[in-house]
Chains A and B, each alone.
Chain A
């Protein structure tokens, strides 16, 4: 069963297609940025105060939340 879990990942990596210069423009769209910020972000960062279990890509301070145990 464990091997089956890794099969999609293995298939994905080995199935990579070459990416040319022309393709880089398409891949530079914000939708392909998984840690976008500023004008290239889609969501407000303030909702993390409500959803404390949502993983953050930020490496900033822990937040000093006295009630977020």
Chain B
């Protein structure tokens, strides 16, 4: 009877938990997703919950504090398959809470510095996004291109600075609008070889456009699978990031596979857009990760662990008070996911 109330086509429920943990910072995210197919329509919805815990430790003045924050995010997408080669998707997502750990840290810095002024108020970060995409299977089964367009608006936790002319602190910009687009092309070159090219562009309020390119190759040989990826992202006047990764997967039993990967990343430091400088200096990071996957067809479970290290360049005098935020760390990542198709 339950099927009468749900979609008549394939449905899938997925649950995923992820952890990023260092000695003084931990992020936990739990996500559940549902997708269902009804004729040419596919509906997908997801809800995620994130928990942040940080041991705030000031460099110059202030007090050590244990920070905790929670963020909820939801998204919904509807896809219509028009014919054998074209489908279109509309997406909407929204979140309430901090979207990353760094702005929790910097917000505490501003609260300790300006919190006694009556003009100061606590941040209330939240945001939403709309998106649309077109999938074009230009060679069904072997060649595919995906065109994405997105718009998002974020109400952010602002930076604060003291204005001596009016004798009180004032917040910096409190919202950001972002327009983004991407094109991803995937091409099967042989029954054992596939490549993909991803081009991205993004424009955010008061910033120059950010452009990226990434190329991925995948191959299989018997029970082994290989994947390599390399990419570049640039933004005027001075942001440049390069990254690469390699992965080996071994299908050692009919339903079991294991994987081991390594990836590296470096950038030249974030760009100061305006006002107070809380931005990250240049960073180099690398991670070795591995995991197991069991896939019965309708039911699948995968789990993995990674060891990630981040090395920042020394901070300048302008932002040395964020030295404990941007210090070198060794992180451990965990990931566990299960899906059921019916």
B39-58 contacts to A, CB under 8 A, are: none
A42 to B152, CA, bound (A): 27
Q: Is A62 an interface residue (CB 8 A)?
A: yes
Min C-beta distance of A59 to chain B, whole Å: 4
Contact of B337 among A41, A52, A57, A66 (CB under 8 A): A41
Q: Check A67–B265 contact: CB distance below 8 A.
A: no
Residue on A nearest B334 in the bound complex, by CB: A44
For B129, B133, B159, B285, which residue has the most chain A Cβ atoms within 10 angstroms? B129
A51 to B101, CA, bound (A): 13
Number of interface residues of A (CB under 8 A): 48
Q: Which residues does chain B contribute within 8 Å of A61, judged by CB atoms?
A: 73, 93-95, 99, 127-129, 152, 154
Q: Check A31–B187 contact: CB distance below 8 A.
A: no
Q: A17-B190, A45-B18 are in contact. Are A35 and B285 (CB under 8 A)?
A: no
Min C-beta distance of B139 to chain A, whole Å: 8
Q: Check A55–B271 contact: CB distance below 8 A.
A: no
A sample of 27 cross-chain residue pairs with beta-carbon separation below 8 angstroms, ordered by A number, consists of A12-B189, A13-B187, A17-B191, A19-B142, A24-B141, A29-B249, A31-B225, A39-B338, A43-B306, A45-B18, A51-B267, A52-B267, A53-B241, A54-B233, A54-B265, A55-B214, A56-B200, A59-B129, A60-B93, A60-B131, A61-B128, A64-B127, A64-B154, A64-B155, A66-B123, A67-B103, A68-B102
A26 to B192, CA, bound (A): 7
Q: Interface 1/0s, chain B 14-31, versus A by CB < 8 A?
A: 101011100000010100
Q: Check B304–A29 contact: CB distance below 8 A.
A: no
A48 to B259, CA, bound (A): 21
For A46, A47, A66, which residue has the most chain B Cβ atoms within 10 angstroms? A66
A20 to B188, CA, bound (A): 12
A42 to B305, CA, bound (A): 10
Q: Is B207 an interface residue (CB 8 A)?
A: yes
Q: Which residues does chain A contribute within 8 Å of B280, judged by CB atoms?
A: 52, 67
Q: Which residues does chain A contribute within 8 Å of B152, judged by CB atoms?
A: 61-62
Q: A19-B141, A65-B156 are in contact. Are A46 and B267 (CB under 8 A)?
A: no
Q: Interface 1/0s, chain B 169-209, versus A by CB < 8 A?
A: 00000001010101010111111101110101010100100
